[in-house]
Structure 1
Amino acid sequence: MSRRVRGPARWVGMLVAAACAVAIPATAQEGHEALPAPSPAAFDTLFSTIDAQPRDHADTRARMPEFTRLRALVPPGDESRLLRVDALQCGVGLYEDAARVGVEAQALVERARRRDDGYALSRAYYCLGNARSAQHDERTSIADYTQGIEAARRAGLVVLHGEGLALRAATLSAIGEHAVALIDLTEAQREYERTGETTHAERNLLGLAVAYRRMGEFDAALDHLVRAEHAARRRSDLETTYTTLLQQGYLLFDRGAYPESIGPLRQALAIAERQRDPGNVAYALAALAASEVRIGNHTQALASVERAQARLGSEAHGGGVDMLVHLRRGEALAGLGRHHEAVAEFDGVMAELGDSDNPRYITMLHRARAVSLEAVGRHADAFDGYRRVLAAQTELDALARAQQEVLMRHRFDIERHELEHRRLAADRTLRDQQLAAQHRARHWRSVTLVASVVLVLLLAVLGLRQVRRGRTLQTLAMTDPLTGVANRRSLERFAALAIADCRSPPRPLSVLALDVDHFKRINDRYGHATGDAVLREVAAACRRELRQADLLGRTGGEEFVAVLPGIGREAARGVAERLRAAVAGLDFGDTALGLTITASLGVAEQCAQDTDFRTVVQRADRALYRAKRRGRDRVECDADDDDGGASARPMPPAPATPIGASAAAT
């Protein structure tokens, strides 16, 4: 059965040479034109010409005669050259049957390995990655691209290596890892510029622009888009010109400049109409519809999507264009008050998305769908939709923070290496100058001194830059990298502010100590990766149950502490019960079959006997110990301490000191 492709961003086909070209029949495609006689030299010449030209998915059918002639030039029995043609053409019917293409690509991988052909192996892995990406197996496709990239690197194939980096970057960006994608594209750009591959470098600007836009670095994205557009117009490359204009429209849309985005989108539409490419026309019309919806022109937006649907017809198209058209149609119908029809469109899009890992599309869909569900009176479904929007938006925010951290670390490492190289170069220069100064007259010594001062100043400036960047990274260090909740340092600062706020007028403040039961058994049985997943899910479940004014922090291992300003002991006990139930209700069926977890909690309210914040935490820990002794999966309060635990009237707390480490047994 054929399957419609819903792969990562469409621009991957416009940025890299075709990793999956259209099938070429063995018979001639040019009427009665005679095919050339087989010849190794003629094959190699034509192969080099075809392989050196940048290609994308939109123009492969126009090259069928070239591939027909290439196959006709393969000498009988020449398996090496035949393998290269097959690798170049891998991707037959990708948009119709990605699973079949994947099987064929896997067979090509084995053939290339047996013949130790780095070119064919790299192409085959790229084709396999495209097939798996088209089936929404993005993580596996990234591994395939990585194998192909390594094969191209070993074979010294610079252009093919860059193509693989761009393919992997497109898939990484589609699942939200924009910073890693940007690193790949930057590496490809450096290789192209180093080896003089000007055309590939100019086309790669577009990929860099898309990555910067998705990272939210709009100025850098616009700069790369303008450069890519000028280069494409100079080459008369309509396909790349179309994509740069489309991306400029997306950029203005992301910035909220909806009226301004219509201009470049209409220019892109005009180019697509000239090319008679239904997929490109549909993309441009869907983007126009999105902007028209935002400026309130819902009738025109509906007309745009209906034009897009008419152009697409019944054919399958890659890159999710069909899904985008239906999403925009639903938004336009909702804007016109036709919410029942809009819900039907959104339901279709939801089925089309399936198990997609793209939180941007998921957020967009559920936000629009929830509004229409609420309008038609399906309040429970609408509430579920808003909940999904919140979850997807939380995931997007977490991804954005993680990507910013990855990018900052990468830039920090680059600048550190550059600084080290400059320091070493400066040291070598200084030593050379000192050696030369021994053989010069006295009046040249002053010149050497001046040069040394300049070098010291340069190092001082670079050092100051490193200090400033280090301060930025220190800010990032306030969050626990595994769970995304506050770390110990952030928790202490929050506690100090909360205590000061609760002092005047006097208000209660409670502390919850939470420990995952039998966590060591989880690590021992299921592995540390599953243990990390458990901690992330526990943290997320607890954050959902807490107020915005509360703070949850991880103090070590499987131990968490929550600070509840303005909450007394009995109310805090209720909060703790909600957290315990939320943890017990977590489902890990997809992660580790049969895994269930519980948590024990201790509750303490700051009281007159407490000298500082540490004592409150210690009492909460004692209550937690008691919960462990009494069977786990329960909540104990310090007021219930059968050993004479402290319990007194609340008082304004003293200034906070660093939190003591919790020693709750697992």
Structure 2
Amino acid sequence: MRVSALFCLILACASADVVAASTTSDLLAQARELLGESPHDALKIIKDLETQKSLDSAAQLEADLIRCGYYVDNDDSKEALQIVAKWTPHKLQSLGKAEALELQLCQASAEEKLGKANIAEQSYLDVLSMARSSKLKAVEAEALLNLGQLRGFQGDYSEALVFLENAQTLFYEVEMPHKIRITLNSIAILYGRMGEDKKAIEYFTEVLEKNRAAGKKRNVAVVLYNLGRRYESLKDFTKAESSYEESLKIHTELGNEASIALVHRALGSVYNETKRPKVALASLDKALKILEAKNRLKSQAGVHLEKAISYRLLGMNDQALEELDHAELLSEKSSSPTNERDILEQRSLVYAQMREWQKAYTQSQKFKSVSDQILNNQKDNQLARVQLRFETSKKEQANQLLRKELETASRIQVLQMAVISLLALLFSVGGFFAIRQVRLARQMKSLALTDELTQIPNRRHILAYGEEALRTCKEQDKPFSVLIFDIDHFKRVNDSFGHAVGDQVIQRIAAVSKSFLRQADRVGRIGGEEFLVILPFTPPEAAKEVAERIRDRVARTDMTDLELSLNVTVSVGVCGCTNQKPPLDHMMNLADEALYQVKQNGRNGVRLRDSA
């Protein structure tokens, strides 16, 4: 009898442990779900769990991952890194690889928020590689999402879009609707950065509906804020203000202080744009109070800058200069060159309003210098090396795909011609339709290999041609050269005159560069405003002469019919070889380095790099 009672007691204790474990797991899942809707409630669940019981290692790691995600989302990156630091490699050994990789992703996200983009990107790439080798699709998708967001922030829009679309596909496979919505939101943000505001609004509207249907109030507030940014970009300030106000209401209900400050600053900008500087100051003061409490220096600088605009609109120039002094001091502490640029621009406008023309001119010159420096710094050498490794792999994949497509097209063409011959013997009408099909196949192949905007070879086509031309030059022991050139200050062209003018500039540059090429030479568009020229049988010095002719012709090309003040130049990097023939991607890298050196020396020039 006593044995039976003891057995029942043991069984009851074991059952209690199972129920407790189940409850802990359920509560952690609930906390993770609440992270995107009500983050404070998510943290409360974790705190209560840790207070009530001692969590095992797996549960504690899950709790810390949720907490780390919260701090990253709310820009408390140092807190996030402290959580990561608790988990030494020894502690992680006994746990699953997926959890360890998630922790690494959170650490990388925190590093990114602290401005260490290079470190973050390398971590994302490492996690991506490990997740793929271990077939952890959810982690792979998360790494792709982070990479897409980072590349988009860096301005590499085509790469960013590829990463985000791949992430979205995987999130659908593993059935993670919350992440699908986040990815759609990121794609919408990307379109906004590309200047495709209407396309971005379409995506944001779709995401907004999904979040409303799922009851994700915090996500709804975030999307409304992003919608407001796009409406503001389109100068539709009524819709922008409406979106910001609804976003502010939700963030206030949820107590998201950092987000509340962000929206108040955005509203201040709209009020300034609609000539309501007094209302703007009230909103900006609310933002500043929150940011000062949280010690967000860079964000504070932005608010002081916006307040300076308000005072300038009110004609209160001394107060405007005082706010700009505050903004400058905070920008120096937070190392924000973009804030420095905007401060110089506003100082120039304030001095002009005060009719202090010499000071206004001095500030405008400094503004130009800092703007140029920001553009130059965007080509980070370390990032270029990281991207090169992956670009090499992708180029080879693209070349293989192109060769397969060409082989397939050739087989199809042979079959079609056979069918034509057979049908011609039977009846001429059949021949007509077959010939039409051949023409259609040729048109489709041409479309696959041609850049739609410029009608010159696209990236995949020009790389394939370059590989083939280099192979021929090796076999015949002939020289080979490449040029890489891009349009100087092209972002300014888009920002100042619009993307339609930018597209026409790209088209004219393509036409100019084609006019200098021989029959065997090719020029292709490999990026937004970047072109690659393949020069088979051409030694380095001759290639440099071709580059100089292209540069000179572009500089002398009259584009004032597009915009009266429009003046376009290009910078060209050259790499050539006579004896040893390195791989095409290596030569392109050297040409790109030469191009970068031209940019550093003031642009509108040519530089030759030896292939050795």
Q: 1-side partners of 2:402 and 2:549: how far apart?
A: 35
8 Å CA contact 1:488, 1:554 repeated in 2: no
| Aligned pairs for 1:144-543 within 5 A | 144-309=123-288, 312=290, 314-316=292-294, 321-354=299-332, 361-372=339-350, 383=361, 385-394=363-372, 454=437, 457-469=440-452, 471=454, 480=485, 489=546, 491-493=548-550, 495=552, 536=596, 539-543=599-603
Q: 1:49 aligns with which of 17, 26, 29?
A: 29
SS at the partner of 2:605?
strand
How many Å separate the matches in 2 of 1:155 and 1:260? 47
**Alignment of structure 1 residues 600-619 onto 2, 5 Å:** none
Rounded Cα–Cα distance in structure 2 between residues aligned with 1:451 and 1:262: 59
Q: TM-score, normalised by structure 2?
A: 0.62
Give, in whole Å, the separation in 2 of the partners of 1:260 and 1:157. Answer: 42
CA shift, 1:463, in A, is 1.6
Question: What amino acid is aligned across from residue 325 of structure 2 in structure 1?
Answer: D
2:146 partner amino acid: L
Deviation readout 1:318-341 (Å, 9 max, x if unpaired): 795444333222211122122332
Structure with greater helix percent: 2
CA distance in structure 2 between the partners assigned to 1:331 and 1:499 by the alignment: 39
Aligned residue-pair number: 479
Shift of 1:190: 2.2
Q: CA deviation at 1:413?
A: 10
Higher relative contact order (CA 8 A, sep 6+): 1
Q: Which amino acid aligns with 2:605?
A: G
Coordinate RMSD, CA, aligned = 5.3
Summarize the Cα distance change of 1:347–1:255 in structure 2 as closer, same or farther, 3 Å threshold: same
Deviation at 1:492, TM superposition (A): 0.9
Residues 605-639 of structure 1: CA deviation (Å, up to 9, x unaligned): xxxxxxxxxxxxxxxxxxxxxxxxxxxxxxxxxxx
- Structure 2: how far apart are the matches of 1:66 and 1:497? 64
**Quick check: 1:122–1:147 contact (8 Å CA) kept in 2?**
no
Q: Give 1:231's aligned amino acid.
A: K
TM-score norm. by structure 1 comes to 0.58
Deviations 1:403-459, CA, capped at 9 Å, x for gaps:
9xx9x99999999888777777778999999999xxxxx999x99996896476245
User: What percent of counterpart residues are identical?
Assistant: 14
How far off its partner does 1:401 sit? 11
Larger Rg: 1
Question: Can you give the 5+ residue segments of structure 2 that lack an aligned partner in the other structure?
Answer: 1-15, 420-424, 460-481, 490-529, 532-543, 559-586
Amino acid at match of 1:102: L
How far the C-alpha of 1:368 sits from its partner, in A, is 1.8
> Is residue 269–residue 285 contact of structure 1 (8 Å, CA) maintained in 2?
yes
Aligned 8 A contact 2:297 2:330 in 1:
no
Whole-Å separation in 2 of the counterparts to 1:363 and 1:538: 23
> Which residue does 1:131 correspond to in 2?
110
Give the SS at the match of 1:315: helix
Secondary structure, counterpart of 2:606 in structure 1? strand
Other-structure match for 1:637: none
Indicate the SS of the match to 1:108: coil
Q: Tell whether the 8 Å contact from 1:185 to 1:204 is kept in structure 2 after alignment.
A: yes
Contact 1:175 1:357 in 2 (8 A): no
Q: Aligned partner of 1:480: which letter? A: F
Q: Deviations over 1:368-424 (max 9, x none)?
A: 233235556887775554234324544676799999xx9x99999999888777777
The 1:283/1:469 distance shift into structure 2, 3 A limit, reads: same
The equivalent residue for 2:609 is 557
Between the aligned partners of 1:346 and 1:284, the Cα distance in structure 2 is: 21
Secondary structure class of the residue paired with 1:128 = helix
Determine if contact 2:277/2:310 at 8 Å carries over to the other structure: yes
Structure 1: gaps spanning 5 or more residues: 1-35, 437-441, 502-527, 544-551, 559-666
1:481 deviation in Å? 5.8
**2:293 alignment partner, SS class:** coil
Shift of the 238–189 alpha-carbon distance from structure 1 to 2, 3 Å rule, reads same
- Displacement, 1:199? 3.8
One-letter code aligned to 1:190: T
Secondary structure, aligned partner of 1:332: helix
Quickly say closer, same or farther: Cα 1:277–1:375, change in 2 above 3 A. Answer: same
